[in-house]
Structure 1
Amino acid sequence: MNYLKILFLCCAAAFSMNAQMVNDSTFDASVKRPKFKKGKGPALLIDAAHHNFIVEMGLAKPLVDVATADGYRPSIDSSLFTKAYLSNYKIVVITPAMPFTFGSKKEVTTESTFTPAEIDALHDWVNNGGSLLLLSEHAPIDKSMTPVLNKFGIQSSIGIVWDSLNCDKTIPMKGFQTLLKFNKENGLLNTEHPITKGEQIGEQIKAIVTYGGSGLTGPEYTSLFTLSPSSEIKRWSGINPSGSAASQGLVGKVGKGKLVALGDCNGFTAMYINMGAGKKFFAGMQVTDHNWKQFVLNTLHWLSN
């Protein structure tokens, strides 16, 4: 069984209480130079109102821990988006959201993840100075996130991104072509944006690997993770691929506010996947060869400045 099938089945199994995606207890969430004094930073909402499987599976804990260590005031809440509700926060994080529990259905059809009123309230909040982090994923999540992405002028591919040339070939298994590499050497990592440059010495982002996910296109935004001409959108979860993609990471201004949109969510976790026979696949902020922990911190800093 290849890595991609294992990843999907592990996600589904987690909902049946046979959790295979597990927080890595060895992850060090401490921050050497916190941006804010403890509990004095901006209020940060992690959305839990839209079947956000990262939250439902407890995999948002490492993000909460890192944000807390950096002085932010994160909270997980399941209220629907309204103008009054969003006004309580400086940063909103939406991890992959769906209209139903992930794993319970294979395809999103006519269901709505966010109501039109919620999408309007969210856009108005960003336009008036809020900062939004949107984390999408491969099919079927890409389709469920499309309406909110479209509201901000971003198109999403449907399927999964694959690149046989710019991938982590050190993983000895089928499906490694979805572990996409972005670094200075292959020219796919934008090293000149404040998020990748960091604010201080030692905060520069040098290497990122994404774990599948969707592709994004947004002409009005700056790309952090540019997809190469060799990348493809392939069939996933029984859903035929559609659309094209230029990036897996877009950033930009929306009115007075800011938006960061990523096609993959796993870098904002610190987890491992049980693969059987005592083998584990590690993904996220604790993987030292990838700079996800610093990227998470840099992203929060840019959104809160």
Structure 2
Amino acid sequence: MKYLHILMLCFVIDILYSQQVPDLEFAPEITNKYEGVIYVDHAHNNFHRIDNRFKPFANVLKKAGYSVKAFENPFTEKNLKDVKVLVISNALSANSKSPFVTPTESAFTNKEIQNIKNWVAQGGALFLIADHMPFAGASKKLGDAFGFTFYDSFLFDKRNRGIFDYTEEENELGVHEVINGDDKSEKITSIRTFTGQAFKIPNKATSILKTNENLVVFLPDTMWRFSEKTKRFPAKNMSQGAVMKFKKGKVAVFGEAAMFTAQLAGKNKFKVGMNAPEASQNYKLLLNIIAWLTK
């Protein structure tokens, strides 16, 4: 019965997410101003692009002073040469199509992964977002290149819910400048995420969103399909968001994408993302991450 409940819950979530439209009225007050060019990957069958589901992501950054551009080319040494900050959100291989079943094909060629790794090592800043299955699986090899272990999975709590609040009060937020900010107005005390995946981080990384044994990693064979036989394990000592310096560059890795956008879902226009009342500090985290990457 418990896993039937998960199946029904996921069915509802799947319908809501499939009917999402960007909330173009979301416009938080931003007093601090920044500068720089942020490129967002559009070349890898991305579920989130700045001309659709990630438009609120781009709008927040533009309001803060950044220039936001689509990156529409393969990851070659030449194409990456003049890029300072690159955002990759929920990439998929060109062959991906529903129903999504394991194993998930990599969204990137081995050569592209090596080019990204070299680019970061030489001073590039990568913001990698890989959500629940199949997005986690599609970015697994890229995560591996930097020492992050992705699971092609879903993250739920013990009540089978997929919405999580990470708070300073519960010691679930990491100690880092992307949480503390540069001044009091940028300080973060609570972040909400919406399902996604949890992953293991390398020793040199700092976990920003710390998961624990009260969260469970589910490993279904098919997207949104669960049963009593579905493999699972506690998410103890894992992370849903982490940052790390890598040689001359920087990497920010997060296992959930909706937290960085603003969507209206379903007929009732349910708010999912930065526009949700419980996620009022999420846009600050986005700004703090980008500010850290651009420094």
- TM-score by length of structure 2 reads 0.87
* CA gap 1:73/1:23 in 2 versus in 1, 3 angstroms: same
3-state SS of paired residue (2:166): strand
Structure 2 match to 1:281: 270
Distance 1:212 1:129 in 2: 32
* Shift of residue 5, structure 1, vs aligned partner: 2.0
Distance 1:26 1:3 in 2: 28
Is 1:263 the counterpart of 2:255? The answer is yes
Is 1:197 the counterpart of 2:180? The answer is yes
3-state SS of paired residue (1:92): strand
Q: Which one-letter code corresponds to 2:250 in the other structure?
A: K
Q: Which runs of 5+ in 2 are unaligned?
A: 1-6
Distance 2:178 2:49 in 1: 24
Q: 1:130–1:258: 8 Å Cα contact kept in structure 2?
A: yes
Distance 2:54 2:95 in 1: 16
Q: 1:249–1:262: 8 Å Cα contact kept in structure 2?
A: yes
Q: Which runs of 5+ in 1 are unaligned?
A: 14-19, 36-40, 166-174
* CA gap 1:102/1:198 in 2 versus in 1, 3 angstroms: farther
Structure 2 match to 1:296: 286
Is 1:164 the counterpart of 2:148? The answer is no
Q: 2:120–2:250: 8 Å Cα contact kept in structure 1?
A: yes
Q: CA RMSD of the aligned region, Å?
A: 2.2
What is the correspondence of 1:42-81 to structure 2 with a 5 Å cutoff? 42-55=36-49, 58-81=52-75
With 255-264 and 50-59 compared, the bigger mean Cα shift is at 50-59
Q: 1:46–1:92: 8 Å Cα contact kept in structure 2?
A: yes
* Shift of residue 280, structure 1, vs aligned partner: 3.0
Q: 2:96–2:105: 8 Å Cα contact kept in structure 1?
A: no
Distance 1:303 1:198 in 2: 13
Structure 1 match to 2:33: 34
3-state SS of paired residue (1:55): coil
* Shift of residue 44, structure 1, vs aligned partner: 1.3
Q: Which one-letter code corresponds to 2:166 in the other structure?
A: F
Distance 1:54 1:242 in 2: 27
Q: Which one-letter code corresponds to 2:106 in the other structure?
A: S
Identity across the alignment (%)? 26
* CA gap 1:197/1:102 in 2 versus in 1, 3 angstroms: farther
* CA gap 1:186/1:30 in 2 versus in 1, 3 angstroms: closer
Distance 1:272 1:2 in 2: 21
3-state SS of paired residue (1:154): coil
Q: 2:84–2:294: 8 Å Cα contact kept in structure 1?
A: yes
- TM-score by length of structure 1 reads 0.84
